[in-house]
């Protein structure tokens, strides 16, 4: 895993936890500390970080979380990329306007690839991919109308949704 990805994950996962106050007392006699568990693997840290950022972006409308997902996507490969694709699709589904505006404002965003691949992958598993794709386009347009997107945003939406296609994953 590349160093920048590791740093981003640690920054995303590390929270300011207050230290437990020390009382000066010792553990009771006869208590035996259990074995120290091994540290989590880089893989599990990466997945946990992606999930946490997905929740922040989707639940809290966090642009900072989108930026971290974007940075991770630029550095990722393999299963991390697949996890980011799924996360990006979930954020799109839950925070359509936030995601669309972020991608429009960041035209060189690596997260765009994840949104397209994640949405395409979700339709790939459908029994009728053509129907799933048509439903996706209609839902996107309905969401755009409800959100009151501007004309440039609508043009961008059409460009982005034209890239979504489950057949590309064959």
CA angle 170, 80, 16 (to 5 degrees): 155
Q: Which residue has the higher pLDDT, 111 or 167?
A: 111
pLDDT at position 10: 45
Q: What is the dihedral of CA 4, 10, 55, 103, to 10 degrees?
A: -20
Q: Is pLDDT at 23 greater than 50 in this prediction?
A: no
Mind listing the pLDDT tens digit for each residue in 80-121?
Answer: 999 999 999 999 999 999 999 999 999 999 999 999 999 999
Mind listing the pLDDT tens digit for each residue in 38-49?
Answer: 555 677 888 999
């Amino acid at each position: 895993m590349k160093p920048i990805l590791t740093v981003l994950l640690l920054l995303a996962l590390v929270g300011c936890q207050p230290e437990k106050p020390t009382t000066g007392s010792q553990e009771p006699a006869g208590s035996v500390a259990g074995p120290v568990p091994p540290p989590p693997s880089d893989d599990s840290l990466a997945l946990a970080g992606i999930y946490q950022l997905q929740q922040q972006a989707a639940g809290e409308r966090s642009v900072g979380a989108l930026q971290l997902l974007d940075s991770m996507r630029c550095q990722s490969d393999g299963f991390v990329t697949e996890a980011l694709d799924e996360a990006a699709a979930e954020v799109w589904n839950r925070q359509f306007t936030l995601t669309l505006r972020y991608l429009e404002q960041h035209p060189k965003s690596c997260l765009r690839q994840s949104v397209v691949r994640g949405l395409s992958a979700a339709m790939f598993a459908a029994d009728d991919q053509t129907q799933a794709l048509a439903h996706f386009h209609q839902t996107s347009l309905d969401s755009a109308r409800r959100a009151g997107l501007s004309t440039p945003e609508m043009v961008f939406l059409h460009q982005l949704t034209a890239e979504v296609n489950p057949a590309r994953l064959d």
